[in-house]
Amino acid sequence: MAKDNKKMVDAITSMDEDFAKWYTDICKKAELTEYTSVKGCMVIRPYGYAIWENIQRILDGMFKATGHENVCMPMFIPESLLQKEKDHVEGFAPEVAWVTHGGSEKLEDRLCVRPTSETLFCEHYSNIIHSYRDLPKLYNQWVSVVRWEKTTRPFLRSREFLWQEGHTIHATAEEAIAETERMLNVYAQFCEESLAMPVVKGRKTESDKFAGAVSTYAIEALMHDGKALQAGTSHYFGDGFAKAFDIMYTDKDNKKVYPHQTSWGVTTRLIGAVIMTHGDNNGLVLPPAVAPIQAVIVPIQQFKEGVLEKANEVAEALKAAGIRVKVDDSDNSPGWKFAEYEMKGVPVRIEIGPKDIEQNQCVIVTRHNREKSFVSLEGLAETVKTKLKEVHDGLYQAALENRERRTYSCVTMDEITEALEKNGDGFIKAMWCGEEACEDEVKEKTGVGSRCIPFDQEQLSDKCVCCGKPAKYMVYWGKAY
């Protein structure tokens, strides 16, 4: 059994050879996912699900700290309800899965398996909101959704996936817009502080915004291979949904008015983002905040008296300090264990054997850079915490350097083409006039689409990169997952 697993470690395709194959090798061989007979859907295995649980735990705490409450809406949406918001239903129509029969009986009103839950929340709001005193409602739910994707890949794009979707409703446009921006900042903070993944915050162009939204904000990250990944979105709906669903409340002046709404969400694609931001040719490299195992203890010569006892004693001390730790006392060789936990991306490995015990020390190896150090067993918990911070900071810095190295400022279409041909994929920073025709032409001629209009604007030139007319915005462009 150990021999077979060792072969699996060796068999990870090099990312330089085939990045897509490298990615799927890691998903399978690090035991994150498994394929299933349901086409386009995946089994999230315990190790992969534990990463999602840590993401969920941290984000849920951040949501609740900002006053949000968890709810749970039905999985099914009647077609008649979905049809109430025209732009919304048209945007999702190609991806919707339908239930047409209940048992052997055909349904009069077929049911959509939720691709998102705006319409369900709107129906609920229309029943419970009557006065300004009922506002705001700050809701979130953790559920799965279904979108009938044609091309799927584990975590990045599947027909069923896990996510959270926040839905809030406010008395004024100003409050709703502030909420939209606040939650985008929560996502950015989470990505940078918990996933060690730098992101660009900005607004989507009109052609790329969420169906039914007035405006969509997004965080964009850059992967190892120079492709962009949308890591989270936050949408301001204005009062469009409220009007479609007849949601009105009586304000302080005793007038009937429409409230304003938002929604925002992240999905299990964040696990894919972690793989492609930090992974290497030996497997996963996990940020400590979401790693199921933060430190693994490998006993050396564990058959010798006192070794396993000391390893377990050390583990208990680390657990007491709040560190997620595992002792691998299996009969696999130390070399196999080193390779196994390296592949699984465990941030810190602790080696302890008879000679170490004699000298009251152990060996610590950090996953992101493979640095080895001999440290005292005294105060080990604090030492491990310091090492975990080193891993996070090292991962963030490496990801930031990759993004900066692969970000190119261009003022003409030819410069975009030359930058991509010379340097490979990455973010392109270029000016844009705001016309959709130019946005389309940039993508058609260079292969890069608009990712976002960043909040932090730069004046690279005064002309649109495409048509030469006066520029309105600096835009991040790129190829994307």
Same domain, 100 and 231: yes
Question: What is the rounded CA–CA span in Å between residue 16 and residue 23?
Answer: 11
pLDDT at 89 over 50: yes
Q: Angle CA(352)–CA(355)–CA(360) in degrees, nearest 5?
A: 70
Confidence of residue 444 (pLDDT cuts 50, 70, 90): very high
Shared-domain flag, residues 324 and 263: no
Are 324 and 293 contacting, i.e. CB atoms less than 8 angstroms apart?
Answer: yes
Say if residue 243 is in the same domain as residue 314: no
Angstrom CA distances, 208 to 141, 150, 218, 449, stand at 24, 19, 11, 10
Same domain, 339 and 458: no
Measure the CA–CA gap between 52 and 45, rounded to whole angstroms.
Answer: 11
Return all residues near 426 (Cβ < 8 A) that are at least 6 apart: 222, 226, 405, 406, 407, 408, 419, 420, 478
Share above pLDDT 90 across residues of the chain, in percent, rounded to a whole number: 94
Following DSSP, what letter does each residue of 54-79 receive, concatenated?
HHHHHHHHHHHHTT-EE----SEEEH
Which CATH number does the domain housing residue 364 bear?
A: 3.40.50.800
Question: Which pLDDT value is given to residue 6?
Answer: 41
CATH number for the domain spanning 424: value is 3.30.110.30
C-alpha closest to that of 366 among 351, 381, 388, 344: 388
pLDDT digits (tens, 9 = 90+) for 225-282: 999 999 999 999 999 999 999 999 999 999 999 999 999 999 999 999 999 999 999 9
* Pair 241, 371 in one domain: no
Q: Which domain holds residue 364?
A: 295-388
Same domain? 383 vs 423: no
For residues 26 and 20, the answer to whether their CB atoms sit within 8 Å is no
Q: In the chain, what is the straight-line distance between the N-terminal and C-terminal CA atoms, in Å?
A: 36
Q: Which of 251, 278, 305 is the last residue of a domain?
A: 278
pLDDT class of 93 with cuts at 50, 70, 90: confident
* Same domain, yes or no: 265 and 334: no
pLDDT at position 92, please?
78
Task: Tell me what pLDDT residue 11 has.
Answer: 76
3-state secondary structure at position 426: coil
How many CA atoms are closer than 13 Å to the CA of 27, on its beta-carbon side? 22
Please compute Rg for the chain using Cα positions.
25
Of 224, 244, 278, the residue at which a domain comes to its end is 278
In the three-class reduction of DSSP (H, G, I as helix; E, B as strand; rest coil), residue 480 is classed as strand
Q: Tell me, what CATH number does 37's domain have? A: 3.30.930.10
Cα angle: 332, vertex 338, 344; to 5 degrees? 105
pLDDT for the residue 4: 39
For the stretch 54-73, pLDDT in tens is 999 999 999 999 999 999 99
300 and 196 in a common domain: no
Q: What is the DSSP letter of 367?
A: T
Position 99 in a domain: yes
Per-residue pLDDT at 10:
59
Question: Does residue 185 lie in a domain region?
Answer: yes
Which of 345, 385, 389, 384 lies closest to 368 in space, CA to CA?
345
Q: State yes or no: pLDDT of 83 exceeds 90.
A: no
Give pTM, 2 decimals.
Answer: 0.95
- CA–CA separation, 384 vs 387, rounded Å? 5
Q: Check pLDDT > 60 for residue 3.
A: no
Q: Rounded distance, CA 473 to CA 454, Å? A: 9
Same domain, 412 and 379: no
Owner of token pair 């969400």: 265
Average pLDDT of span 103-128:
95
Is the Cβ–Cβ distance between 232 and 212 less than 8 Å?
no
Residue 103, domain member (yes or no): yes
Tell me the percentage of the chain whose pLDDT exceeds 70: 98
- Together in a domain, 154 and 218: yes
Residue 116 predicted with pLDDT over 70: yes
DSSP-derived letter for residue 195 is: S
pLDDT over 70 at 8, yes or no: no
Whole-number average pLDDT of the chain = 95
pLDDT of 2 above 80: no
pLDDT band with cut points at 50, 70 and 90 for residue 85: confident
Closest CA relative to residue 83, chosen from 48, 118, 52: 118
pLDDT at 330 over 90: yes
> Under a CB-based contact definition with an 8 Å cutoff, are residues 125 and 174 in contact?
no
CA–CA separation, 35 and 41 (whole Å): 7
How many domains are contained in the chain?
Answer: 3
Residues 329 and 456 in one domain: no
